Amino acid sequence: MPTTSSHNLSAATRRFDGRVAVVTGGGSGIGAATALRFAQDGAKVAVMDLDASALAGDVAIARNGDCTDAAASAAFFDEVESVLGPVDVLFNNVGQSAREKGGPFVDSEEGTWRFVLEVSLLTAMRASRRIAPSMRQRGRGRIVNMSSDAALVGDRGLADYAAAKLGVVGFTRALARELAADGVTVNAVCPGAIRTRAHDRLSPEVLARIRAGTPAGFVGEPEDVAALVTFLSSDEARFITGQTILVDGGRWML
């Protein structure tokens, strides 16, 4: 993935100088685009993913690890806090649908539901539980949770994913109310069709249907979501909390 050197950016764009930003599931796609944007804006960035090697050298910490593994997640945050300092921004990006195991709910299996709920909802809760007390104590912080427009649309064949991602919305709202008076904001972003590696496996016919169902008429890029996440993580968004914002070209409108 091409990167832009932070040396080419003006001081005015470095909104996160001196701040520590964590991106879970940041090895590729939206997570990687956001991690690079944070780094370009001056943040000390830490990423954990099954394969974070593509970001080695572009961020302060890039660790391979399973975000659904509580012990591995705890060790990662231990390292971040020890090496970089307290976390100022947490982007709970990791998550996925059942993918090849997906299909009609009446044919689904509980083991698949549990995996989707774990990776798409419980990872966000676990990471937030780890860093929220420190943010609260320091009187500042930003948490952005990854949801999906599938949570609102209710796409066929994605019952478990829609349930997990709407759970993210509810979690976001409740945590935002708890932390608002402490200077900590919590928001959710809901991407729609975004060009990631998962889209590379789709047939031209499926991609055509996706474009046809998107009023904007095209598939978004990871950078389109990264722009929103970094805004919500900045000082400019201090009065925005508990919100669910879609980045889907108009497929679903609140």
Q: List active site positions.
A: 161
Residue/partner pairs of 63-72 with CB below 8 Å, 24 or more apart: 67/24, 67/25, 67/94, 67/119, 67/123, 67/127, 68/118, 68/119, 68/122, 68/123, 70/126, 72/48
Instruction: Identify whether the C-beta of residue 94 lies closer than 8 Å to the C-beta of residue 25.
Output: yes
Distance, in Å, from the CA atom of 182 to the CA atom of 166, rounded to the nearest integer, reads 25
Task: Give, in degrees to the nearest 5, the angle at Cα 238 between 237 and 244.
Answer: 55
Crossing angle of helices 159-179/110-117, nearest 10°?
A: 30
Which pairing describes strands 141-146 and 184-191: parallel, antiparallel, or unpaired?
parallel
Q: How many Cβ atoms sit within 10 Å of the Cβ of residue 115?
A: 17
Question: What does residue 3 show for φ and ψ, rounded to 5 degrees?
Answer: -125, 160
Distance, in Å, from the CA atom of 227 to the CA atom of 247, rounded to the nearest integer, reads 10
